[in-house]
Chain A
Amino acid sequence: MTQTPIVKFEDARLAFGSRVLWEQLDLSIAAGEFLAVLGPNGSGKTSFINTMLGTTALNHGRVSIAGEPVRRGSAAVGLIPQQRPFGDNVPLRARDLVALGVDGAKPGIRMARRAVRNKVDELLELVGASGYANRAVSDLSGGEQQRLRAAQALASDPRVLLCDEPLLSLDLNHQQAISEVIHRQAVERGSAVVFVTHEINPILPYVDRVLYLAEGRFHLGSVDEVMQSSVLTELYGAPVAVLRVNGRIVVVSGDGTRALPADGHDHIEDIELETGK
């Protein structure tokens, strides 16, 4: 591809204290490309996203978005964070939450009510949330709330969509709907997608490349290149087997007792024990 990449990491390194999360990372993500980021808890997936948001600085090297150095709050970047339920102390309807994605960073109170309203209607339609536009956010299920976060993230038609485990603890139906919305943004609007996930199977049809982080190292390549027993065994520094069952990918630790990264909701700390870290 001859176009400038949407995201470009050059010799990037991130460490907290003496703990290196990843280094010597050179990565270009093209328009419309869907990058899956996998790895155990604490391997630096969220931090990777934060470097593109401009909320965490690299220790070395550069990262740019659409040719410009990253800048916090840039309209070129959209974020769908991990699902965390809103409590009932949030006096907002679904549409008000999405509206914050449109103009929430601006000071004062909202004056352009009509324009924002139209934009919000459009976004709700896009993520299939029009049916509950006027319901209280706190009355919605985790999956419904997550669709609203997707709508928020799409508000500025971002060049890159950063998704930090957006499917965690959602039911299958919402998992599919949200991955589809994200995929559509890549295909129809040419946005690059960085999709952090514990579970690659729901997004397997959409993934172009995989970045696998573990133990302060990483491996980058196509699904078939990365999701192999030999590659992950080397990354984890311990025996790991990758199995394909009915078109699904299952990763288990050497003794076959444990899925890696754990399917869905579980925490993963026990892997670190197992690999002797």
Chain B
Amino acid sequence: MNFSDLLEKAFNFQDYGLLLPLVTNSLIAGAALGIVGGLIGIFIMMRDMAFAVHGIAELSFAGAAFALLIGADVVTGSVFGSMIAALILGILGTRARDRNSITGVLMPFGLGLGILFLSLYEGRSANKFGLLTGQIVAVDDVQLNGMLLLSAVVVIALLLVWRPLTFASVDPVVANARGVRTSGLSIVFMMILALAVAVTIQVVGALLVLALLITPAAAAMRVTSNPVTTVVLSIVFAELAVVGGILLALAGSLPISPYVTTISFLIYVICRGIEAVRSPRRHQV
């Protein structure tokens, strides 16, 4: 394939108007996901848990693959998988170093289980691949409702614990002394995170969750330290990546994920650039 073929595959707006109505559900799901990713990413960054998110995603994938195999609902399967991973990490991995090694142990185990279930599965192979690298081409109404419900639970739960969770995340010693239940909150956070990962997997797949759960928040933090602005930018960046990615994917015959991850990455690079221009001294090291 030469370069113009690739361009043709990636961007082809000929039947755009006809295709758009087909992805309405995907767009709604994507928009909800943008809010989820933008919000929870801030806490994942503050708590330094990027690696743990990856680990949860692999077990979530195993859960989804198992559901596919036994003909159960895939979203439910991934919720189960990520809940189990989050509980293990929340209970055993209270210290960052423990958490990293437990994640390192869980991740290949989850991935291996998932691959086992998928190789036993005899249905459409597109479904198989989709769990790892993203699908969301056709979200039916039932799936959409499930995803919206999960997203709403995540957002509401985050708002309910926002302030003490921020305190516990940036300064656990003082927060604990001030009466914040830091260990209870970290379990609660792991549960919220598990739900967020389970929704995200439906859109971008287990391997690419970080593009929506980390990158937007990480990018926002490069350009602002005002907490309100951070929230707004993080959500905007996540929406640009997801919704923008779905709309662009429509114009080509490639899956959605590369569009989403590329937009997300570009936003991050631009934010780092802005930061470097603004405060060159910090980057001389």
Q: Chain B residues near A149 (CB, 8 Å)?
A: 174
Q: Chain B residues near A91 (CB, 8 Å)?
A: 42, 45-46, 220-221, 224-227, 230
In the complex, how many residue pairs between chain A and chain B have their CB atoms under 8 Å apart? 98
B166 within 8 A of A: yes
**B177–A53 touching, CB < 8 Å:** yes
**A93–B174 touching, CB < 8 Å:** no
A77 within 8 A of B: yes
**A55–B176 touching, CB < 8 Å:** yes
Contact of A97 among B170, B173, B179 (CB under 8 A): B170
Given contacts A107-B161, A109-B159, 14 further A-B contacts (CB under 8 A): A72-B176, A72-B177, A73-B179, A79-B174, A86-B170, A87-B48, A91-B45, A91-B225, A93-B227, A100-B163, A101-B174, A104-B164, A105-B175, A109-B162
Q: Chain A residues near B88 (CB, 8 Å)?
A: none
**A108–B162 touching, CB < 8 Å:** yes
- A153 vs B160: C-alpha distance in the bound complex, in angstroms? 25
Interface size on B, residues (CB 8 A): 31
**A110–B224 touching, CB < 8 Å:** no
Q: Chain A residues near B226 (CB, 8 Å)?
A: 91, 93, 96
- A201 vs B163: C-alpha distance in the bound complex, in angstroms? 39
Tell me the minimal C-beta distance from A79 to chain B in angstroms. 4
Interface size on A, residues (CB 8 A): 36
B167 within 8 A of A: yes
B98 within 8 A of A: no
- A65 vs B106: C-alpha distance in the bound complex, in angstroms? 46
Contact of B180 among A92, A104, A110, A135 (CB under 8 A): A104
- Interface 1/0s, chain B 156-200, versus A by CB < 8 A? 000111111011001101111111100000000000000000000
A66 within 8 A of B: no
Tell me the minimal C-beta distance from A161 to chain B in angstroms. 12
A89 within 8 A of B: yes
Q: Chain A residues near B162 (CB, 8 Å)?
A: 108-109
**A107–B221 touching, CB < 8 Å:** no
